[in-house]
Structure 1
Amino acid sequence: MGQILDILASGIIAVISAMGYAGVALLMAIESACIPLPSEIIMPFAGFLVSTGEMNLLLVATAGAVGCNLGSEVAYIIGKRGGRAAILRWGRYVLLDAHDLDMADRFFARFGAPAMFIARMLPVIRTFIALPAGISAMPRLPFHLYTFVGSWIWCYGLAYIGMALGAQWHENPTLRTWLHRFDALIVLGILALGGLFLWHKLRHLRHRA
């Protein structure tokens, strides 16, 4: 796990160092398109560059939020155009069915905009929330508005941490170890949520049998 995170961190640093704000936007777009690229590395490193005078904090946060909207649009379109049909046809192979779609529809109908805002500031959930939003056809304007605002706050907070830590982010091995542990914890969180979902679905199937 540590080696994988080291490789990811090296790639993230290389992209931002080479592309600047565009690199921040690109990486955050990937992270928001249901690909778990850790924003907990992306934005703090951008914040470190703010501390060296190479970047601006407000522009870094804005670039990150714009990237989140771009990546989320991709996931939204996939969900809206093909997600529902795919789940109805193939969902049984991953323990998804029409009941799950109905639950998602009710969730976004009731909590859509506030839920999107909160989800954008939560690890793990923020990476995947655009896909079910698209499947449930959440109205696009509030989807993008709350995606941008929530993502901007998330990006600003992480970048500010990187800026406040300054050179320590890059030079302090203890700090890097703790960042890797945090990212590893997020990966474990994804696995735990997957396990909980699997347990819930199998339990539901046993009750129906």
Structure 2
Amino acid sequence: MTEHLLASIVQFVIWTISSTGYAGVGLLMGIESACIPLPSEIIMPFAGYLVSTGRFGAGDAWMGLIWVATAGAIGCNLGSFIAYWIGALGGRPLVERYGKFVLMSHHDLDRMTHFFVKYGSITVLLGRLLPVVRTFIAFPAGIARMPQLRFHIYTFIGSWPWCFALAYVGKQLGDRWNTDPRFHEWFHRFHLVVELALVAAIIWFVWSHLKRGRRLNEA
């Protein structure tokens, strides 16, 4: 089922970018940044692959990479705008009411808000460079009411190199896919590392929160 779902996502990404070009790149990255887990690790490499075919950049590969990275970073800001305001307008009541169902307590909410107030800029900047975290970073920033202009500036600064790096990988894969078998192996290892990191993060989150819940109940 996972393979079928992944194949469907890949087909959607390919169709959207192939049909709408830069706008499609921005749209898909906007979806990812609106807390919808549409992997940028699929979106941007495919855009980079199209750079290798001349679809972007009109034959100038470096300009093509720059433009698809810029389209992706703009899309991140657009999607983050939605997630930010969902967090700002209703995030705290939602977490206070339903947070227990995702193992998030009032303590977590207060700690997260304090952290964003103190370290919001660097948190957003680094969060945009991390798989999975980058998808959801706008929501807590909105809850903490991080200054929105600063939030969008750091979102763009953090998102652009991520988009460029993934697009560059896609271009290299496109250039050498049929001539260098090492790229097949590297591509699969990259996805394996992302998946393992996600599983490890989920296990740690659940374990730490259940452990703290038991301590509170015993007290």
Q: Would you say same fold, with TM above 0.5?
A: yes
Alpha-carbon distance between aligned partners in 1 of 2:38 and 2:7, rounded to the nearest angstrom: 12
Alpha-carbon distance between aligned partners in 1 of 2:174 and 2:115, rounded to the nearest angstrom: 41
After the TM superposition, which residues 1-209 of structure 1 pair with which residues of structure 2 at under 5 Å, given as runs? 1-55=2-56, 56-169=64-177, 175=183, 178-180=186-188, 182-209=190-217
SS in structure 2 of the partner of residue 159 of structure 1? helix
Contact 1:108 1:136 (8 Å CA) reproduced: yes
Root-mean-square deviation over aligned CA pairs? 2.1
Percent identity reads 53
> Structure 1: where are the runs of 5+ without partners?
none
Alpha-carbon distance between aligned partners in 1 of 2:198 and 2:143, rounded to the nearest angstrom: 21
Alpha-carbon distance between aligned partners in 2 of 1:162 and 1:19, rounded to the nearest angstrom: 18
Alpha-carbon distance between aligned partners in 2 of 1:170 and 1:11, rounded to the nearest angstrom: 24
Shift of 1:148: 0.6
Provide the residue aligned with 2:61 in structure 1: none
Q: Which amino acid aligns with 2:138?
A: A
Q: Which has the higher contact order (CA 8 A, sep 6+)?
A: 1
Q: Which amino acid aligns with 2:7?
A: D
Shift of 1:196: 1.4
Count of matched residue pairs: 209
SS in structure 2 of the partner of residue 166 of structure 1? helix
Give the TM-score normalised by structure 2: 0.87
Shift of 1:173: 8.2
Deviation sequence 1:70-129 (CA, Å, 0-9, x none): 111111111111110111122223222221111101211221101111111111111111
Shift of 1:52: 1.8
Q: Which amino acid aligns with 1:76?
A: Y
SS in structure 2 of the partner of residue 96 of structure 1? coil
Contact 1:162 1:169 (8 Å CA) reproduced: no
Alpha-carbon distance between aligned partners in 1 of 2:178 and 2:78, rounded to the nearest angstrom: 28
